[in-house]
Amino acid sequence: MHCHLEGCVPPETARRLAEGHGVTLPAGARDGGDRYLFRNFDEGLEIYVAVSKSMQTQDDFRAVTYDSLLTGAEGGLRYREIAFNPQNHPELTYAEMMDGILAGVREARAKVGVESRIVVAINRELGGEAALELVREVLAHPHDEVVAIGLDSNELAGRPSEFVAAYDLAREAGLKLTAHAGEHGDSTEMVECLDLLRVDRIDHGYAALLDPELLSRTVASQIPYSACWFIDYPELEVEGRRRDVAAMAAAGLNMCLNSDDPALIGPELHEDFIDAAVHLGWTVEDAEKYALAGLDACFADDVTVARLR
């Protein structure tokens, strides 16, 4: 449910794309062999943006999308909701990027039957006006596969309230709404996402654990949280994230498990499930429950969801 396209590019592919397009990658993308090296979210985001800048042709988008879906499908993935950040790719128009992504989606579907939908992610650092412009661009190029808008990048830049006009426009056009909140920011950000952006889902949302009112509100509403099991920044403790996710589940939130950036931050989704099962003592039935919660939280149409179930 929560997976960033540009975070699905393995380091070797990123280096090849960067070299081909004359982009200099940060040392953490050059020197780590088959892993990216970074100590904290900001360094990870810097790599993410540089990898994004290395995707410069429609065919780069096609190939990265196809590879992401095939790699996921090798681990049993049947549906991926792919978020991507058009504003981080100034070399291409939205229409060109989307044509590339949709070619990859269709190729992967034909090859292994994996299904996918697209979330157009707003870069929070660029503010509300640019977001509104992006949503207008999305609406000018409608595609059945584009199901939602999201809000990501640095959570500490600006407030969700800046994006009300963009979210209103998207909602009026029938798009679903999600937003990153409560990973690095506090629970007031999540409350703004619920009350002002009127999101259908929250990406991350761990800060709810520190806000009893928000916790009981969202347990009652059962709004989905797309939690991400794995983080691999030396300055953030993976144990802390595991504890948060376990606490969210124990509190009765409607939570599903996600990979976020499988090539950048953590492993593919099936490995997250295995690791969660080991640490939380899940049975196969428990794992199935969280997989189905993901399906319930997704933005695909009912016929597709019924087929995937």
From candidates 180, 249, 299, 300, binder to ligand ADE by CB under 6 A: 180
Three-state DSSP class for residue 50? helix
Q: Which does 7 bind (CB under 5 to 8 A by kind): ligand ADE, Zn ion, none?
A: ligand ADE
Judged by CB under 5 A, does residue 155 bind Zn ion? Answer: no
Q: Which residue has the tokens 């592919």?
A: 13
Q: Which residue is nearest to ligand ADE (CB)?
A: 152
- The site that binds ligand ADE (CB under 6 A) totals a number of residues, namely 8
Looking at 20-28, 134-142, 214-222, 254-262, which segment touches Zn ion (CB under 5 A)? 254-262
Please name which of 21, 108, 96 lies closest in space to residue 64, comparing C-alpha atoms.
Answer: 108
Q: Which residue has the tokens 């992967």?
A: 108
Judged by CB under 6 A, does residue 7 bind ligand ADE? Answer: yes
From candidates 162, 244, 260, 272, binder to ligand ADE by CB under 6 A: 260
Q: Which residue is nearest to Zn ion (CB)?
A: 260
For ligand ADE, the closer of residues 123 and 218 by Cβ is: 123
Helical segments of the chain, H only: 11-21, 27-30, 41-53, 58-74, 94-112, 127-140, 164-172, 187-192, 212-221, 238-251, 269-280, 284-297, 302-308
For ligand ADE, the closer of residues 102 and 119 by Cβ is: 119
For ligand ADE, the closer of residues 138 and 231 by Cβ is: 231
Judged by CB under 5 A, does residue 260 bind Zn ion? Answer: yes
Q: Which does 124 bind (CB under 5 to 8 A by kind): Zn ion, ligand ADE, none?
A: none
Distance from C-alpha of 146 to C-alpha of 60, rounded to nearest angstrom: 19
Please name which of 121, 106, 93, 162 lies closest in space to residue 5, comparing C-alpha atoms.
Answer: 121
Distance from C-alpha of 289 to C-alpha of 109, rounded to nearest angstrom: 25
Judged by CB under 6 A, does residue 86 bind ligand ADE? Answer: no
CB-based burial, 192-207: b 16+ in 10 Å, e otherwise: bbbebbebbbbbbbbb
Tell me the backbone φ, ψ of residue 92, rounded to 5 degrees: -125, 155
Q: Which does 10 bind (CB under 5 to 8 A by kind): Zn ion, ligand ADE, none?
A: none
Q: Which does 162 bind (CB under 5 to 8 A by kind): ligand ADE, Zn ion, none?
A: none
From candidates 38, 48, 167, 273, binder to ligand ADE by CB under 6 A: 48
Residue 256 CB contacts under 8 Å (≥ 6 apart), including other chains: 1, 224, 225, 226, 227, 290, 291, 293, 294, 296, 297
Looking at 21-29, 40-48, 91-99, 259-267, which segment touches Zn ion (CB under 5 A)? 259-267
Judged by CB under 6 A, does residue 4 bind ligand ADE? Answer: yes
Q: Dig out the tokens for 88 from the structure.
A: 């981080």
Residue 101 CB contacts under 8 Å (≥ 6 apart), including other chains: 5, 61, 62, 65, 82, 84, 118
**Which of 183, 189, 192, 268 is labelled catalytic?**
183
Least gap, CB of 35 to ligand ADE (angstroms): 16
From candidates 60, 81, 152, 192, binder to ligand ADE by CB under 6 A: 152
Distance from C-alpha of 72 to C-alpha of 82, rounded to nearest angstrom: 12
> Does residue 183 have an active-site annotation?
yes
Least gap, CB of 48 to ligand ADE (angstroms): 5
Judged by CB under 6 A, does residue 153 bind ligand ADE? Answer: yes
- The residue ranges that bind Zn ion (CB under 5 A) are 260
| Catalytic residue ranges | 183
